[in-house]
A and B are shown apart, each in its own frame.
Chain A
Amino acid sequence: MALTLQNGVAEAIRAHGVETYPNECCGALYGKDGVVTATYALPNTTEEGPRRRFLVRPQDYREAEKRASAMGADLLGFYHSHPDHPARPSQYDLDHAWPFFSYVIVSVKSGVPEDMTSWRLQEDRSAFDQENLTHA
């Protein structure tokens, strides 16, 4: 499994993570066949404290799918930031994950973006597999 971020995508995710720090950011990933060509920043609507949670509401999810159709692209997954935490999925991420989506996580430490990783839910929901993240 691999996810390729086209030129500018990783930069956009990092910039969003810096912009919302110390809160988590989130957004949609668009592209085709494992290549992300565009991102779209989404509002973090969590009511549980945006420093350690993100939530994309169903109405925003619907818009994200419609945007994919309008672009002629697929919704490949979502990204979010982990402010002052490693770019590794939490149990909470696992409990809320959808299959076949790529989950890109960027760690933002003291306002500075660091590691970026990508994950996919295993078929039995027991864990994530890390995807090889490449840049084009």
Chain B
Amino acid sequence: MPNTIHIPTPLRPFTDKKESVEVSGATVGELLKDLTTRHDGLKKHLYTDEGRLRNFVNVYLNDEDIRYLQKEQTPVKPGDQLSIVPSVAGGAVSPKPRAKAEGAR
């Protein structure tokens, strides 16, 4: 039985508009790798250039945040479901220059 990954709205253009995609692998990381291998263009939105999951990308294994499991090393069973859920963040000021300015106050 394959595993499925729920794809959020802004990533569906990369998955032929599909809301969920079937993938295979033994760990969360392997499922995500299978997803990014099958669907070109997804990787840079999920991972940093250093290969880490971006911090506003939340991944849930059967509704449990993988940060509280074994992250990408979390083993998966046949039929387990993965969900990618965005955090949406932003703000008026870029953090680094501002942080320095505030520190100098």
A residues near B (Cβ < 8 Å) are 24, 26, 46, 48, 52-58, 61-62, 65, 68, 74-75, 78, 80, 82-85, 89-93, 96-101, 103, 123-125
From residue 50 to 88 of chain B, which have CB atoms closer than 8 A to chain A?
56, 58, 60, 85-88
Interface residues of B toward A: which range? Answer: 20 to 34
B residues near A (Cβ < 8 Å) are 8-11, 13, 41, 44-45, 56, 58, 60, 85-96, 98
Given contacts A61-B8, A65-B8, contact A53 B89 (CB under 8 A): yes
Chain A residues whose CB sits within 8 angstroms of the CB of B96 once the complex forms: 91
Q: Pick the contact of B90: A58, A84, A93 (CB < 8 A).
A: A93
Q: What number of A-B contacts does a CB cutoff of 8 Å give?
A: 94
Which B-chain residue is minimally distant from A83 (CB atoms)? B92
B94 and A55 within 8 A (CB): no
Given contacts A83-B92, A96-B56, contact A55 B44 (CB under 8 A): no
Q: Pick the contact of B85: A46, A53, A58, A100 (CB < 8 A).
A: A58
A61 and B90 within 8 A (CB): no
In the bound assembly, the distance between CA atoms of A80 and B9 in angstroms comes to 19
In the bound assembly, the distance between CA atoms of A24 and B44 in angstroms comes to 28
B87 and A61 within 8 A (CB): yes
How many whole Å from A55's CB to the nearest CB in chain B?
A: 5
In the bound assembly, the distance between CA atoms of A61 and B88 in angstroms comes to 8
In the bound assembly, the distance between CA atoms of A53 and B92 in angstroms comes to 7
